[in-house]
Amino acid sequence: MSFFKDKTAIITGATSGIGQGIAAALIREGARVVLSGRDEERGRNLEQQLGPNAHFVAGDITRPEANEALVQAAMGRFGRLDMLALSAGRLGIGKLHTLSVEDWQETVSTNLNAVFYLLKYAIPEMQKGGGGSIVIIGSVAAFHAFPNHPAYSASKGALPALVRQLARDYSPEVRINLVSPAQVITPLLHNSVKAFDNPDEILEETAQKLPMKRLGLPEDIAHTVLHLLGDQASWVTGSNFVVDGGFLAT
């Protein structure tokens, strides 16, 4: 029987890309999943596609009350909260001096503040239930500069330090780890390469420059996330796992 059978997870950014890949993988393993996203229609379609163990809650995770509602939904519908996968992300493309204050604030709110909000409300419920496991989706942008990504890089760069701190504060009941992908084929990646004059060529060139000679897939990240959420990683916390096709080795 799967470790994930009858366990409950919240997944942010669940309606596309990496978050959707994680949701589908957890459902296949028997988990019950609360899906978070802003797009009501897309979320309801995904809920129907994934079946009765999926429950969509629309909301803006940059608002504290939306994150509290996700935790309440997990507890109210499934009676427990065991896992979190925080996958929502925003780019905020532009050189720092041209970036609007609103774009900066929205990017930091999505990539960093929303992490704080969900963990603030979720960790106490996980502790009451005997513990749990958390995976945050970071980025290699925390360790490598990309053109015109100051807000994204800064907000993702804060996550390794936050994960180490939380591992110290909440272990052994709650484990928390970071997964840092490189270029994964998602809507976010296609928006990211708009920072270049030749986005289509950049994607092809990037794939060929990687040691693995291809861009990543959401499933590549989901495999690592499920390993970290599961009991096979029971002695792993406070760590960062780079899943990048060899990008940082180039």
- Are the beta carbons of 9 and 85 closer than 8 angstroms? yes
Q: What CA–CA distances, in Å, run from 16 to 36, 43, 141, 186, 206? A: 10, 9, 20, 7, 22
Selecting among 117, 121, 152, 170, the annotated active-site residue is 152
Kindly write down the DSSP assignment for every residue of 104-139, as one continuous string: HHHHHIIIIIHHHHHHHHHHHHHHHTT-EEEEEE--
Neighbours of 150 (CB within 10 A): 18
Per-residue tokens: 169: 């504060």
Dist. CA 75–CA 132, nearest whole Å: 14
CA neighbours closer than 13 Å in the CB half-sphere of residue 70: 37
Whole-angstrom CA distances from 63 to 119, 131, 205 are: 13, 25, 38
CB atoms within 10 A of CB 1: 6
Told to judge if 121 belongs to the known catalytic residues of this protein, a careful annotator would answer no
Residue 241: strand, helix, or coil: strand
- For residue 214, the 8-state DSSP code is S
Nearest-angstrom CA–CA distance, 177 and 166: 9
Enumerate the active-site residues. 152
